[in-house]
């Protein structure tokens, strides 16, 4: 079926916004209904049912909506509202007809919103925009591959090409893709992780020797205390609420640390239980700390100080001496350092009261087994790496790493972002990995580090990038400083986007561009050796299989693997060190190579085919072995920064609404926060609004302030009085991205600090709220 767009173009305007009360609980029956209705409406009952019943089952496909782990015993419906939205969005029968490309110029499409673009349906044929043309036109796969090879070969250096990856790409494809980039000769392999958990990888990699979760799924139900920091699981990891409910019922206490009151952290009505459907559900957070943005490191340090004080009062009973003596370094330096902790600074940086901090300290001291989970609220700050090291310090003091029911738990975003890294998607893979690649394939891959995401935008801006290849994703919308990124992308010679659906990055291009449409995870991937399965790694290092279940939406689609192989063969030929054709024929071949190159994948094919998966080894989790510089878990001394905000300004975070997946917008509503019909909102504490002289509901322009003096602004946003911490404000990603300066990144990880931007509000320059430049609802806001 080729389709007409299922939605009208939206003239998104903040004045159309309906603002209701924020919710105090998440999921429940409305959640399930919300998830089923669009699926059935779009796909028909039978296709929808095949999909929802196969989702996250052992022989089914892995849900692409987040990296939350699967329990050992799967429920019949192992999916959530937002997983169902993601599947519906991908498996929609609506497709973009060939006529679309002649009828819609790139310039005209630039005026459309991300929401509209995504709703046009699936991409079903390769299309090409020649130099000088304002339209894409159909092209054959072979011609597309030949063109890419020709442009790559014409460059002066392989480093003039960049190979970006988003986190949906499966292990096998990711492995082949990085091998393509490296055998061609570059480590320019930026990925969405650079904008996501890079700070986690940096901090944990240094202090415990591995940048991954130290817990197993089962640990949740064994924990005494779970502290959830900088994460909104009700929207972004909804199935985690079930694990939290089970933990709660088994006696765990839960503490939420978050500037915003997030419905999902307050109360959960589990749609799978009678209690959840008919009753009040389960209250989740026993304590809710509405922290000031960026204050989490100070909070952790204050609790650590309390731990030492308790140890002084009851020597030998509070610290885990056996663990610290055998497995940790740096204890004495840290103890000395926190002795002089400035309490005034702690209160200022956290915005909390001493009583709140003391209460959390008591909970921490009472608990034998503590898990701390986190996501973007900790990683996307300038001081993120040090904040995360303070999280680890606190856990180590009482031996909360490498014991059942305890650990450090970064909750990953994209469903295979962790696996992509394991497979070598990183601009700075260590020598050990590169040497193993060379040994396996007889290659000599480059050693110099490549670009991360921010550096890759800087390189585009400097005119250093001739070919850009994206394995999924939508970087121009996802990265900070939207207008700088747009300018950069327009300087790229050839922009190749390997995608499932239309997005902004297809329209923000230079001379030439290609859109190569691929199978999604729900679709059957048929190759010469038969139907293929792929594998992914979730947040707790579990590798499992994923198999497409429905017929591909178009016979012209290729798998991501086929596209990598197509480019590789055209570029590198069939006589080189890598037998690319064998990769495409049978993905078992790729898995055999992975087994030889990457530790932990012994008997990869056997364990994947027979058992649907396995858990990767993890030194700290399995045996308290810490592969760090000191050979021990490193307790570190960190001089934290204070996230300063001048008078009359606010600290802005940009986060996800309930109806979006990153830059994919499912609807303009954010049910849990009480927002409908427009995403152009900025949430501010009522007292701050009063101090700043704005009425609740006023239409404003938002300007960010940064050391480079550039005036970055978005226009026509509605201010909504909201329960957030004082001095802090929130808006949505990607609408807020033009406000985040490209140079404002986390120290040590270079992750855009999109949760800590200094802004000021001004009365809207234009009435009605639409942007002065660019069409309403687009990212093309004026003023840079």
Which partner in Mo ion, ligand MGD, none is near 434 (CB below 5 to 8 A by kind)? none
Sole binder of Mo ion in the list 118, 351, 413, 520 (CB under 5 A): 413
**Bridge partners, residue 217, by sequence:** none
3-state SS track over 403-416: CCCCEEEECCCCCC
**Bridge partners, residue 129, by sequence:** 513
Which of the stretches 227-235, 305-313, 328-336, 427-435 binds ligand MGD when contact is defined by CB under 6 A?
Answer: 227-235
Q: Which CB, 198 or 320, lies closer to ligand MGD?
A: 198
Sole binder of Mo ion in the list 55, 196, 457, 459 (CB under 5 A): 196
Q: Which CB, 229 or 457, lies closer to ligand MGD?
A: 229
Which residues does 513 contact at the CB level (< 8 Å), separation at least 6?
128, 129, 136, 494, 495, 496, 497, 506
- The C-alpha atoms of residue 208 and residue 628 are separated, in whole angstroms, by 6
- The C-alpha atoms of residue 352 and residue 324 are separated, in whole angstroms, by 30
Helix axes 604-611, 587-597, angle to 10 degrees: 130
Count of residues that interact with Mo ion, criterion CB under 5 A: 2
370 conformational bin, left if phi > 0, alpha if psi -120 to 50, beta if neither: beta
Sole binder of ligand MGD in the list 182, 335, 501, 569 (CB under 6 A): 501
* φ and ψ at residue 625, rounded to 5 degrees: -100, 125
H-helix or E-strand spanning residue 732: strand 728-732
- The C-alpha atoms of residue 222 and residue 216 are separated, in whole angstroms, by 11
Q: Between residue 748 and residue 767, which ones bind ligand MGD under the rule CB under 6 A?
A: 754-755
375 conformational bin, left if phi > 0, alpha if psi -120 to 50, beta if neither: beta
Count of residues that interact with ligand MGD, criterion CB under 6 A: 62
Radius of gyration of the chain (CA): 25
Which tokens hold the place of 333? 């330096």
Q: Which CB, 371 or 453, lies closer to Mo ion?
A: 453
Which partner in Mo ion, ligand MGD, none is near 498 (CB below 5 to 8 A by kind)? ligand MGD
DSSP secondary structure code for residue 158 in this structure: G
H-helix or E-strand spanning residue 328: strand 328-329
Do residues 452 and 190 lie in contact, with contact meaning Cβ atoms separated by under 8 Å?
yes
Residue 733 engages ligand MGD in binding (rule: CB under 6 A): yes
Q: Which CB, 418 or 653, lies closer to ligand MGD?
A: 653
In sign, the C-alpha dihedral spanning 567, 570, 571, 577 is positive
Sole binder of ligand MGD in the list 200, 231, 373, 625 (CB under 6 A): 231
Which partner in ligand MGD, Mo ion, none is near 418 (CB below 5 to 8 A by kind)? none
Which partner in Mo ion, ligand MGD, none is near 751 (CB below 5 to 8 A by kind)? none
x/- letters, 239..278, toward ligand MGD (CB under 6 A):
------------------xxxx-x----------------
Order of strands across the sheet with 282-283?
A: 26-27, 267-269, 282-283
What are the helix (H) ranges across 586-674?
Answer: 587-597, 604-611, 619-623
Which of the stretches 188-196, 344-352, 380-388, 593-601 binds Mo ion when contact is defined by CB under 5 A?
Answer: 188-196
Vertex 204, ends 200 and 207: CA angle to 5°? Answer: 150
Tell the smallest beta-carbon distance from residue 768 to ligand MGD (Å): 25
x/- letters, 10..49, toward ligand MGD (CB under 6 A):
----------------------------------------
H-helix or E-strand spanning residue 110: helix 106-110
Q: Which CB, 673 or 718, lies closer to ligand MGD?
A: 673
Which partner in ligand MGD, Mo ion, none is near 408 (CB below 5 to 8 A by kind)? none
Q: Which CB, 413 or 488, lies closer to Mo ion?
A: 413
Sole binder of ligand MGD in the list 147, 338, 457, 475 (CB under 6 A): 475
Tell the smallest beta-carbon distance from residue 501 to Mo ion (Å): 18
Residue 499 engages ligand MGD in binding (rule: CB under 6 A): yes
- The C-alpha atoms of residue 365 and residue 346 are separated, in whole angstroms, by 19
Do residues 383 and 323 lie in contact, with contact meaning Cβ atoms separated by under 8 Å?
no
Q: Between residue 558 and residue 597, which ones bind ligand MGD under the rule CB under 6 A?
A: 560
In sign, the C-alpha dihedral spanning 59, 62, 63, 69 is positive
Which of the stretches 306-314, 406-414, 508-516, 674-682 binds Mo ion when contact is defined by CB under 5 A?
Answer: 406-414
Which partner in ligand MGD, Mo ion, none is near 178 (CB below 5 to 8 A by kind)? none
H-helix or E-strand spanning residue 614: strand 613-615
Which partner in Mo ion, ligand MGD, none is near 473 (CB below 5 to 8 A by kind)? ligand MGD
Q: Between residue 653 and residue 672, which ones bind ligand MGD under the rule CB under 6 A?
A: 653-656, 660-664
Tell the smallest beta-carbon distance from residue 240 to Mo ion (Å): 15
Sole binder of ligand MGD in the list 84, 478, 675, 689 (CB under 6 A): 478
Q: Which CB, 324 or 454, lies closer to ligand MGD?
A: 454
x/- letters, 378..397, toward ligand MGD (CB under 6 A):
--xx----------------
Do residues 706 and 744 lie in contact, with contact meaning Cβ atoms separated by under 8 Å?
yes
Tell me the residue nearest to Mo ion as measured from the CB: 413
**Bridge partners, residue 517, by sequence:** 499
Nearest to 399 by CA among 311, 495, 286: 311
Which tokens hold the place of 490? 């327009």
Do residues 225 and 406 lie in contact, with contact meaning Cβ atoms separated by under 8 Å?
no
Cβ neighbourhood burial of 269 (10 Å; 0-12, 13-18, 19+):
buried
Cis? peptide before 734, omega within 30° of 0 = yes
Tell the smallest beta-carbon distance from residue 387 to ligand MGD (Å): 8
Question: Which 3 state secondary structure label does DSSP give 577?
Answer: coil
Tell the smallest beta-carbon distance from residue 196 to ligand MGD (Å): 3
Tell the smallest beta-carbon distance from residue 318 to ligand MGD (Å): 25
Tell the smallest beta-carbon distance from residue 506 to Mo ion (Å): 21
Sole binder of ligand MGD in the list 225, 247, 492, 740 (CB under 6 A): 740
- The C-alpha atoms of residue 238 and residue 246 are separated, in whole angstroms, by 14
In sign, the C-alpha dihedral spanning 122, 125, 129, 133 is negative
Q: Between residue 45 and residue 84, which ones bind ligand MGD under the rule CB under 6 A?
A: 65-66, 82
Sole binder of ligand MGD in the list 291, 371, 459, 681 (CB under 6 A): 291
Sole binder of ligand MGD in the list 69, 149, 192, 492 (CB under 6 A): 192
Which partner in ligand MGD, Mo ion, none is near 324 (CB below 5 to 8 A by kind)? none
Question: Which 3 state secondary structure label does DSSP give 322?
Answer: helix
Which of the stretches 11-19, 189-197, 316-324, 505-513 binds Mo ion when contact is defined by CB under 5 A?
Answer: 189-197
Which of the stretches 198-206, 429-437, 498-506, 548-556 binds ligand MGD when contact is defined by CB under 6 A?
Answer: 498-506
Which tokens hold the place of 20? 């209701």
- The C-alpha atoms of residue 580 and residue 598 are separated, in whole angstroms, by 19
**Bridge partners, residue 752, by sequence:** 745
Tell the smallest beta-carbon distance from residue 27 to Mo ion (Å): 22
Sole binder of ligand MGD in the list 19, 43, 84, 196 (CB under 6 A): 196
The DSSP bridge pattern shows strands 18-19 and 675-676 to be antiparallel
Q: Which CB, 52 or 196, lies closer to Mo ion?
A: 196
Residues contributing to the site for ligand MGD (CB under 6 A): 65-66, 82, 166-168, 192, 195-196, 229-232, 235-237, 257-260, 262, 291, 293-294, 296, 375-377, 380-381, 413-414, 471-475, 478, 498-501, 503, 518, 520-521, 560, 653-656, 660-664, 733, 736-737, 740, 754-755
Binding site for Mo ion (CB under 5 A): 196, 413
């Amino acid at each position: 079926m080729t389709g007409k767009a299922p939605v009208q173009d939206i003239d998104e305007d903040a004045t159309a916004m309906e603002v209701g009360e924020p919710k105090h609980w998440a999921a429940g029956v409305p959640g399930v209904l919300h998830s089923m209705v669009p699926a059935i409406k779009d796909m028909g009952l039978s296709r929808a049912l095949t999909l929802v019943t196969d989702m996250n089952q052992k022989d089914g496909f892995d849900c692409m909506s987040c990296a939350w782990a699967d329990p050992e015993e799967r429920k019949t419906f192992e999916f959530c509202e937002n997983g169902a939205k993601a599947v519906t969005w991908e498996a929609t029968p609506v497709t973009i007809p060939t006529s679309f490309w002649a009828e819609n110029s790139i310039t005209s499409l630039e005026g459309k919103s991300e929401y509209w673009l995504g709703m046009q349906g699936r991409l079903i044929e390769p299309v090409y925009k020649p130099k000088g043309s304002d339209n894409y036109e159909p092209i054959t796969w072979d011609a597309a591959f030949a063109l890419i090879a020709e442009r790559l070969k014409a460059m002066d250096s392989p480093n003039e090409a960049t190979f970006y990856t988003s986190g949906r790409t499966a292990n096998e494809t990711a492995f082949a893709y990085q091998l393509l980039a490296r055998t061609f000769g570059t480590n320019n392999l930026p990925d969405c992780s650079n904008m996501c958990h890079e700070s986690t990888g940096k901090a944990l990699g240094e202090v415990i020797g591995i940048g991954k979760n130290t817990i197993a799924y089962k640990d949740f139900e064994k924990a005494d205390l779970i502290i959830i920091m900088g994460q909104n699981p009700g929207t972004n990891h909804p199935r985690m609420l079930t694990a939290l409910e089970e933990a709660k019922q088994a006696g765990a206490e839960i503490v939420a640390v978050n500037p915003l009151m997030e419905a999902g952290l307050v109360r959960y009505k589990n749609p799978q239980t009678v209690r959840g459907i008919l009753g009040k559900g389960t209250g989740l957070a026993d304590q809710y700390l509405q922290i000031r943005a960026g204050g989490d490191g100070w909070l952790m340090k204050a609790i650590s100080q309390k731990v030492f004080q308790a140890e002084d009062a009851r020597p030998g009973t509070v610290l885990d001496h056996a663990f610290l003596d055998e497995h940790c370094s740096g204890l004495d330096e840290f103890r000395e350092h926190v002795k002089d902790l400035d309490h005034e600074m702690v209160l200022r940086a956290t915005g909390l009261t001493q009583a709140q901090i003391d209460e959390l300290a008591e909970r921490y001291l009472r608990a034998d087994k503590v898990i701390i989970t986190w996501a973007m609220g900790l990683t996307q700050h300038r001081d993120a790496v040090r904040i995360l090291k303070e999280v680890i310090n606190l856990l180590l003091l009482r031996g909360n790493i490498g014991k059942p029911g305890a650990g450090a738990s970064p909750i990953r975003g994209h469903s295979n972002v962790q696996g992509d890294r394991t497979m070598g998607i990183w601009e700075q893979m260590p020598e050990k990995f590169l040497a193993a690649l060379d040994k396996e394939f007889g290659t000599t891959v480059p050693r110099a580090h490549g670009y991360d995401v921010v550096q890759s935008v800087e390189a585009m801006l400097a005119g250093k990038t001739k070919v850009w290849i994206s394995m999924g994703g939508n970087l121009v919308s996802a990265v900070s400083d939207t207008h700088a990124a747009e300018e950069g992308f327009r300087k790229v010679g050839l922009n190749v986007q390997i995608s499932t659906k239309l997005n902004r990055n297809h329209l923000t291009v230079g001379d030439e561009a290609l859109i190569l449409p691929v199978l999604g995870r729900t679709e059957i991937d048929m190759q010469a050796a038969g139907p293929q399965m792929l594998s992914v790694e979730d947040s707790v290092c579990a590798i499992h299989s994923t198999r497409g279940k429905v017929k591909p939406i178009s016979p012209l689609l290729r798998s991501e693997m086929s596209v990598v192989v197509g480019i590789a063969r055209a570029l590198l030929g069939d006589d080189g060190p890598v037998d690319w054709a064998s990769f495409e024929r049978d993905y078992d071949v790729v898995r055999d190579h992975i087994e030889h190159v990457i530790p932990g994948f012994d008997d990869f094919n056997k364990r994947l085919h027979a058992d649907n998966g396995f858990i990767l080894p993890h030194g700290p989790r399995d045996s308290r072995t810490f592969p760090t510089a000191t050979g021990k878990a490193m307790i570190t001394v960190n001089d934290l920064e204070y996230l300063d905000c001048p008078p009359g300004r606010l600290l802005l975070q940009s986060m996800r609404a309930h109806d979006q997946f990153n830059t994919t917008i499912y609807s303009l509503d954010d049910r849990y926060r009480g927002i409908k019909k427009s995403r152009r909102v900025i949430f501010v504490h009522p007292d701050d609004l009063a101090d700043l002289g704005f009425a609740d509901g006023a239409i404003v322009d938002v300007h960010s302030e940064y050391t480079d003096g550039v005036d970055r602004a978005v226009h026509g946003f509605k201010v909504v009085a909201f329960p957030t911490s004082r001095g802090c404000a929130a808006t949505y990603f990607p609408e807020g991205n033009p406000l985040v300066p490209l140079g404002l990144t986390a120290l040590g990880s270079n992750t855009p600090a999109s949760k800590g931007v200094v802004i000021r509000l001004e009365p809207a320059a234009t009435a009605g709220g639409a942007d002065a430049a660019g069409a309403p609802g687009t990212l093309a806001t004026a003023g840079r």
